[in-house]
Structure 1
Amino acid sequence: MRPFSLSVLTLVASSLAAPVLSDGHSSKALEAAAKARNANMSMIGYHMGVLGSMAKGEAPYDAALATAAAENLQAGAAMSRIVLYLEGSEQGAVAGSRAKAEIWSDSAGFEAQAIAFETAAAAMVTAAGTDLEALRGQMQALGGTCGDCHKPYRGPRN
């Protein structure tokens, strides 16, 4: 039996390694992370909408509903970014991703914005159940943290 040549071994090794991308993550893992991130952002947006409709007077203020929405919002904000933001899952690299490469090139800035959002979401839990004026006041602060992160770290819709 003749031994494999180096070129055959190289070909086999490179074909096995091809699905592995940035930081050792497979393309499947990067796509899954982007999908999970998008789902988390959709849930955050849904709960922001519940709170926002009350703040704008489009829906009646309901302390129990507002508190529940704020608690869910807080849970979404607190999700570990290490699994949602895999390097290599940026816009242009993974279908459906709007994450800009700046998330990883400016990871300290991104983390600071994420912590600001978590803090504002935690404060919303208290404000939401207090009264309509407290909810409105915290809604403005919370919404500001969204824009502060989306501007530098979220790409346009494609």
Structure 2
Amino acid sequence: MRKLVIAISMLAFAGSAYADPIKGRQALMKERGKLAGQISKVVKGETPFDAAAVLDALKALQANAEKFDVDTLFPAGSDKGDTTAAPKIWEDMAGFKAAEDKFLADTKAAVASPPADVDALKAQLNTLGGDCGTCHQTYRIKKS
């Protein structure tokens, strides 16, 4: 499981290289969604709780958040094209950065205090999911 998570992380990062900031941020967010989905399956009981596998997924999520450089991924002018990034990002860059910083801090906290059981993981996922939801509500255009 750990090797799979690391391989996915490396491929997503290598494929993004930030030559195109839109594709770079989309690759990182896609990876983030997959990692959150793995954790969610454990919380839902679809995958058995395995403390080591959960910690690996949380570490991969932290690595993903650490790669998410707002200045590189959201330069001026990258609000045009195939993107669901809302104009609010560029209007409130400080707020957007604060939202990403909160996600990173909460991810680091989850890694620092790995969950011992599904209930503890559920609490962590609620926090991380709340971070994602808050950011998406403010800084993402919903596809129709």
Is residue 2:139 matched to residue 1:153? yes
Given the two structures, how large is their TM-score scaled by the length of structure 2?
Answer: 0.81
Identical columns (%): 36
Report the count of equivalent residues.
127
- Cα distance in structure 2, aligned partners of 1:146 and 1:64: 24
Is residue 2:25 matched to residue 1:37? yes
User: Mind listing any 5+ residue stretches in structure 1 that lack a counterpart?
Assistant: 1-29
Q: Which residue of 1 aligns with 2:10?
A: none
Q: Which residue of 1 aligns with 2:96?
A: 110
Matched position secondary structure for 1:57: coil
Per-residue CA deviation, residues 49-69 of structure 1 (Å, 9 max, x unaligned), is 111111111110011111111
- Cα distance in structure 2, aligned partners of 1:84 and 1:130: 35
Q: Decide which of 50, 65, 81 is 1:94's aligned counterpart.
A: 81
C-alpha displacement at 1:116, in angstroms?
A: 1.0
C-alpha displacement at 1:127, in angstroms?
A: 4.4
- Cα distance in structure 1, aligned partners of 2:19 and 2:87: 15
- Cα distance in structure 1, aligned partners of 2:44 and 2:51: 15
**In 2 relative to 1, CA 88–31 (structure 1 residues): closer, same or farther, beyond 3 Å?**
farther
- Cα distance in structure 2, aligned partners of 1:125 and 1:55: 16
Q: Indicate the RMSD between aligned Cα atoms, in angstroms.
A: 1.9
Q: Which residue of 2 aligns with 1:46?
A: 34
How does 1:17-28 map onto structure 2 within 5 Å? none
Matched AA of 2:75: L
Is residue 2:72 matched to residue 1:83? yes
C-alpha displacement at 1:129, in angstroms?
A: 4.6
Q: Which residue of 2 aligns with 1:121?
A: 107
More off after superposition, 102-111 vs 122-131: 122-131
How does 1:61-80 map onto structure 2 within 5 Å? 61-79=49-67, 80=69
Matched AA of 1:148: T
- Cα distance in structure 1, aligned partners of 2:112 and 2:121: 9
Larger Rg computed on CA atoms: 1
- Cα distance in structure 2, aligned partners of 1:123 and 1:55: 18
Matched AA of 2:40: G
- Cα distance in structure 2, aligned partners of 1:60 and 1:128: 16
User: Mind listing any 5+ residue stretches in structure 2 that lack a counterpart?
Assistant: 1-17
